[in-house]
Every structure is written in structure tokens, then in C-alpha cells.
Amino acid sequence: MILTFLFVPFAGKALTFLLLQPPSPKLPPHSTIRRTAIDLIGRGFTVWEPYMDVSAVLMGLLELCADADKQLTKLPDSARSSRHALSLIATARPPAFITTIAREVHRFNAAQANSQSQQNVHTTTLARAKTEILRVIEILIEKMPGDVVDLLVEVMDIIMYCIEGSLVKKKGLQECFPAICKFYMVGYCDRSHRIAVGARQGSVALYDVRTGKCQNIHGHKGPITSVSFAPDGRYLATYSNADSHISFWQMNTSLLGSIGMLNSAPQLRCIKTYQVPPVQPASPGSQNHLKLARLIWTSNRNVILMAHDGKEHRFMV
């Protein structure tokens, strides 16, 4: 028992060293010992995690497979092992993966905002690994949607970093990253180019695709069940089954009649709130809360709250 207690911290640090050590004649980038260390990190991450710098480990793995999608020849073993290790780590500890990558994104964005230099940001590991990061996020959405919902705003922060805003504006969120659109807590407006994301804390994060800015609004006392924009983009409906309320928010408009930018004030105001009978889950289960009810606009002023059992509640703004 004592030997095991002493071995685990040492092994965790040794594996981290083998992963992050710069390539040299004694330890080439795609050597067998490095690949073995990567395999062990992925398979035993929950054991090593307390003794590792998780951020450094994830960035090290991303560095090894950052340009995998651009390879014209067979991927090196270490690159394939790194991709597999990232998948294992993410599915074993979704919160660790999501929060760590989101923190790196925030750090990168803050550095860029404060930097006076014109360095090439496309050469960083985070920038080169965008495709790989999205691949892992897609796996988490498919296999562990409950964990993703708990950190849905952080996940959207990552997605917004990995996908160019101009591409989302041109093609829409559904075409750019359809996996995230399966959640009723995510809504996209083609007209205003905004994304709304409902959080577990009862707040809604509102992203402007054109500027990359994010605004948080607080309107509910429990997790958001569904959000949806009106077809003309002038209203946002939010519903929380936890507090049994549906709220309508009026989007700010400019003098020209177009949807206002996020840096205008005020951006939103709640114009109506209705109390709604709570929706009961079909049966006890961990994922039932993800599909309790959704909001469907039938016109620019009328919306239906559609429960999973087919019951409807109609509202007019």
C-alpha cells in the first residue's frame, strides 16, 4: 500500500515528463517510449490527474496531433495515440477537459486583446488544434450530453473560438457544427447572427457572431430548459422548467431597424414573464431533462412551448 502510494505521484510526473520533453536524439518525437507514456496517460488519467498539470498535458497531446487533419501520409504512431488519449481523457473526465480547454481559450483571447505585437497567432498549438478540439467536443456531445449541458456555456466558448465567426454568419450554426444544435438550450438567429445558450445556473449567454462578444443575462432561478429566437430576431424566449417560467426578451434595435450590436446599451430587456405548469419527465433517467420541452415560434409574435409528451402552451409577445 505504501509503495503504491509513493509510486503513483512519481509515475504521473514521469509520464508527464516523457510527453512534454522536447524532441532529442535520445527521445525522438515519435519514439516508442513517448507513445507508451501517451497510452498510459490516456488509459489511467483518473489515477494520474491529481499529480499532473492537466493543462500542460492536454496542450502537449494537442501539439502532437495538431496538424493531423493536414497529413497527406500515414499519421505517426504518437499522433494516433495522442488522439486516442484525448478521447479517453475527455470521456473519463468531461469537466476537466472542457474547463481546461475553455480556460486556455480565455487566456489566449485575453493575451491577444492585450498584445501590441503582430505575431502570427495561427502558429500556436491551440489555433492549430481547432479541428481536433472540435472532434473531441463532438464525441462528448454524442456520448455524454449530460456532462456537456452542465458546462454548455464553456463548450460554446470553445466552439466560438474554433469556428470562424464569418463562417457561422455565412452558413449558420446548424451547418457549421450541427452537434451543438441538438440541445434545446442553444438557439441561433440567422438574422441577427446571435447565439443564445442557456446555463445550469439560470443565466443565458448571448454571443454576437460578428464581434465575438458575449453578454450574460440573468432571468431564471433554475437551469434553462429551452431558448429560441423569434424569426425576425427581435425577441428571445427563454424557459426554465425548474422555476416554471417562460420569459420574453426584446432585442435592442438601432435607428436603421436592424438588430443592435452587443456594445450598445441596453442590449436586452425582459418585457413579459409567464408562469407555466412544470413538465414532468417521462420516466426517471439521467438524460430526460435534456428533452423536457422546446420553444417553437409560429410567427414573429407567437410561440409554442411544446412538452415532450405533446402538450402545448401557447404565448404571444
The model's pLDDT over 82-96, given as tens digits with 9 standing for 90+, comes to 999 999 999 999 999
Look at residue 252 and tell me if it is in a domain: yes
- Please spell the DSSP secondary structure of 124-189, one letter per residue: SHHHHTHHHHHHHHHHHHHH-HHHHHHTHHHHHHHHHHHS-HHHHHHH-HHHH-GGGGGSTTEEEE
pLDDT at 302: 96
Look at residue 304 and tell me if it is in a domain: yes
Look at residue 154 and tell me if it is in a domain: no
Cα 169 to chain centroid distance, Å, stands at 18
> 41 and 83: one domain?
yes
Cβ atoms within 10 Å of 46's Cβ, excluding its own: 12
Evaluate if pTM is beyond 0.85: yes
Look at residue 7 and tell me if it is in a domain: yes
Supply the range of the domain harboring residue 198: 163-317
> 35 and 97: one domain?
yes
Average pLDDT of the residues of the chain: 87
> 133 and 42: one domain?
yes
pLDDT at 113: 74
Number of domains comprising the chain: 2
> 129 and 172: one domain?
no
Which residues fall within 8 angstroms of residue 28, CB to CB, at 6 or more apart? 34
> 102 and 193: one domain?
no
DSSP annotation of 100 reads H
In 3-state terms the chain splits into helix, strand, coil percentages (rounded to 5) of 45, 20, 35
Look at residue 229 and tell me if it is in a domain: yes
Q: Per DSSP, what are the bridge partners of residue 194?
A: 189, 208
Look at residue 178 and tell me if it is in a domain: yes
Look at residue 158 and tell me if it is in a domain: no
> 217 and 284: one domain?
yes
**pLDDT (mean) for 284-296:** 77
List Cβ<8 Å contacts ≥24 apart for 33-41. 34/78, 35/77, 35/78, 35/81, 38/64, 38/78, 38/81, 38/82, 38/85, 39/81, 39/84, 39/85, 40/15, 41/15, 41/16, 41/85, 41/89
> 248 and 317: one domain?
yes
pLDDT classification of 72: cutoffs 50, 70, 90: very low
> 14 and 132: one domain?
yes
> 187 and 295: one domain?
yes
Cβ atoms of 169 and 176 within 8 Å: the answer is no
CATH value at residue 182: 2.130.10.10
pLDDT tens per residue, range 99-115: 999 999 999 888 877 76
Between 140 and 116, name the one with better pLDDT: 140
